[in-house]
Amino acid sequence: MTSNERRVLVHPNKQALAASVAARFITKVIDVIADFGDAHVVLTGGSIGIGTLAAVNDSPTRDTVDWSKVHFWWGDERFVPKADGERNELQAREALLDHLDVPAGNIHAFAASDEVGSLEEGVAAYTAELARFSPDGGQWPRFDITFLGVGPDGHIASLFPEREGIRVTDVPVISVRNSPKPPPERLSLTRPVINSSERVWLVLAGADKASALGLALAGAQYTDVPAAGAKGRRRTVFFIDQDAAAEVPEELIAETY
């Protein structure tokens, strides 16, 4: 697999998918820490995204990682109260983060609706947090792995088809109102930030994702199918289950990575 090439890894079911991604994640984080001294990871929500984090927690190799050197970020967040069960942050904490020895300062969550007065304040706060950990002159950190889920409509993070957010390139964080998927108000990274990551790992399962995945891999416009516009600097991998694989071109399916 050459640099910047997209590949698809198919797993027999959701459980095997989550376990496989978890194992690869642990191995890669160890490698990144060895190379750079720390690692910056962008998390996603959704059932398979959170299921992958739970699989990391259940892995017998979980504690081979020095988690004090890992920074956790999010690709998007629902603008709801801090304790709301719909928050990606809360789900990630329950599945994994609360079980790790991670310094509080390494967990970079989007502001909740009961922490700031408006979506605009949430945008400003996360923009500042990204800049605080960026290389000199940058707007965001060196992201090593960015996890993305993919919706049945092809959306990634909270960047939806035919909406303005997927087109934004001049700022790292946007507010989303009237989201086609509830809840209506959200905060999201923009596509340039996502695509600055060394590795973009799209993890998706279910027959309802097959059409969007097929379109993304067939070269659809990213404004129509946002997943088509996700591309890591070094690697872009679609980790999927068999149910999501129905419309994947055979030549893109890889047995190894």
Q: Nearest 5°: CA angle at 110, between 183 and 103?
A: 135
- 39-73 pLDDT, tens digit per residue, is 999 999 999 999 999 999 999 999 999 999 999 99
Q: What is the pLDDT of residues 96-155, one digit of tens each?
A: 999 999 999 999 999 999 999 999 999 999 999 999 999 988 999 999 999 999 999 999
Asked whether residue 74 is domain-assigned, the answer is yes
Greatest Cα pair distance in the chain: 50
pLDDT band per the 50, 70, 90 thresholds, residue 256: low
Distance (Å, rounded) from C-alpha 216 to C-alpha 227? 6
| Predicted TM-score of the model (pTM) | 0.95
Number of domains in the chain: 1
pLDDT score of 16 more than 60 = yes
| Contacting residues for 117 by C-beta, under 8 A, at least 6 apart | none
Range of the structural domain that residue 186 is part of: 6-252
Task: Flag whether 101 is in a domain.
Answer: yes
CATH of the domain at 54: 3.40.50.1360
pLDDT in tens, 164-218: 999 999 999 999 999 999 999 999 999 999 999 999 999 999 999 999 999 999 9
In the DSSP assignment, the letter for residue 46 is H
Domain contains 257: no
Provide, for the chain, the percentages of residues in helix, strand and coil under a 3-state DSSP scheme, each rounded to the nearest 5: 40, 20, 40
Query: Contact, 121 vs 112, CB < 8 A?
Result: no
CA distance 68 to 77: 23
**Per-residue tokens: 211:** 């059409």
3-state secondary structure 9-27: EEECCHHHHHHHHHHHHHH
User: Is 160 part of any domain?
Assistant: yes
